[in-house]
Structure 1
Amino acid sequence: MDPEILKFKILVLGDSGTGKTSIVRRIIRDEFSLVHSATVGVDFSVKVLNIAQGLEIRLQLWDLAGQDRFNHLSRLYYKQASGVLLVCDETKPDSLDSIVKWKGELDARLQYKIPAVLLVNKTDLIDDEDEGFSEDDLEKICSRLRIGSWSRTSAKDGFGVNECIKALVWDILSDKESKTPDPLTKTKDVFDWDDDCSSSIIRLGRQDLDLANSRGRARKCCH
């Protein structure tokens, strides 16, 4: 029997230089490169999650250039989005302020709400716990903008990236199930994975959905 296929369009939003392309590369290829060019227009990538119980999820990741001159692409970019990864740079305070702009533009472009996760990227460059953004500030902005969860991440070493995708996919599936007259029978068990799944697949597990991990680097901030 052919697997059930769900396609989710995931937007990747944030200022130029916050590491959006590196985040996508980490998700797609599980790799990092110090050499890459700034995104021109839109980059499109696909991640396929082969899941037990005959369910396949195809994540279509749309990475939009952060420069203002590409704003004319926004209408097509936002159309039919299922979820969004909002990316800021922990070494650049202004990039967190810009999340307000990006989320506001997203809400203005769409006539419906979609699940959102905030990635506080480049945490590997923070040596002192007093540097970077405070948890209080991150939780406040998530609550204010109705962002479902946040996590400190490092595209360079992979820290926190998969956990953010896991949280976003879970939120999308939960949202989809709540709005479907005939609920998806498989989503309630979607996190019971076959241990023989390919290691190239991002594995989802209920225990992984709590973003509060060691050193307080990740939090589930709002609902």
Structure 2
Amino acid sequence: MRIPDEMLKKYLKFHKKIPSATGKTSIIQKYVNGLFSRSYKVTIGVDFALKLMPIDEKTNVRIQFWDIAGQERYGNMTRVFYKEAMGALLVFDVTRLNTFDAVKFWKKDIDQKVFTDKKKPIPTVLLANKIDLIEQDDENWISFREKMDNYCKEKGFIKWFETSAKEDVNLHSATKFLVKYILKNNIKPYKDEEDEQSIKLKEETEEMERNESNNNSGGCC
């Protein structure tokens, strides 16, 4: 089900100052380090972050975040960045229409370039970020929220969350939901035959180099 543009334009304020910044870097920094800043620079290429998440009393999961640039001009790089990912958080800014329009582009990009070991799209959660800037009793926002479940089902998202990096809203809930989904469904990264052949060739080459080094290390007669 498509959300009508005229409805979106009523409550999504379209700004052109920072065309791709949705707050994903702020989300990661707040979740990982407990820090929030309004002065993060636009991500160039990709950044990394690590977080240890307790799932229960016996289980801890180490999460590696890849903070990928949201500009479409980086789309030709994403196949490398997505490699062996087991889940994704896709972020849009609820105050800017162009970032919601970009959701379709990035979801398609993810679905076409990264898969689970069962050759299915990796689970993706949609984050409607900066809800601290939205009046929760606004009728247009309420109408939008009511349609989001169907939108996510149609586009293949496993769930969506309203989030705020500034107010620390649903950052832990969204991430934990995705991680638990991955664990529950035993999702593993896809490795194609080419990857396996490359690994095998690398191992064989290293073995040959070790053998050659051993043969050349004999004493002189």
Which amino acid is 1:120 matched to? Answer: A
**8 A Cα contact 2:79 2:114, kept in partner:** no
1:99 to 99, 103, 113: 103
Which of structure 1's runs of 4+ aligned residues deviate more than 6 A? Answer: none
Shift of 1:52: 5.0
Shift of 1:66: 1.0
Pair 1:52–1:44, CA change in 2 (3 A): same
Residue matched to 1:126: 134
- d(CA) in 2 for partners of 1:177, 1:96: 28
2:22 to 15, 18, 34: 18
Structure holding more helix per residue = 2
2:93 to 89, 101, 105: 89
Which amino acid is 1:130 matched to? Answer: E
Q: Does 1:76 align with 2:80?
A: yes
Shift of 1:53: 5.0
- d(CA) in 2 for partners of 1:41, 1:76: 11
Which amino acid is 2:150 matched to? Answer: K
Q: Deviations over 1:151-204 (max 9, x none)?
A: 1110111011111011111111111179xxxxxxxxxxxxxxxxxxxxxxxxxx
Q: Does 1:65 align with 2:87?
A: no
Pair 1:126–1:53, CA change in 2 (3 A): closer
Rg (Cα) greater in structure: 2
1:146 to 156, 159, 174: 156
Shift of 1:102: 0.8
Pair 1:52–1:174, CA change in 2 (3 A): closer
Which amino acid is 1:68 matched to? Answer: E
2:160 aligns to what SS in structure 1? strand
Structure 1: gaps of 5 or more residues? 1-14, 179-223
- d(CA) in 2 for partners of 1:123, 1:66: 19
- d(CA) in 1 for partners of 2:130, 2:56: 33
Residue matched to 2:194: none
Structure 2: gaps of 5 or more residues? 1-18, 189-221
Stretch moving more, 92-101 or 148-157: 92-101
- d(CA) in 2 for partners of 1:138, 1:51: 27
2:186 to 145, 153, 176: 176
Pair 1:75–1:53, CA change in 2 (3 A): same
Residue matched to 1:192: none
Normalising by structure 1, we get a TM-score of 0.68
Residues paired across the two proteins, number: 165
Structure holding more strand per residue = 1
**Coordinate RMSD, CA, aligned:** 2.2
Shift of 1:141: 1.7
Shift of 1:146: 1.6
Residue matched to 1:114: 122
Residue matched to 1:162: 172
**8 A Cα contact 2:86 2:187, kept in partner:** no
Normalising by structure 2, we get a TM-score of 0.68
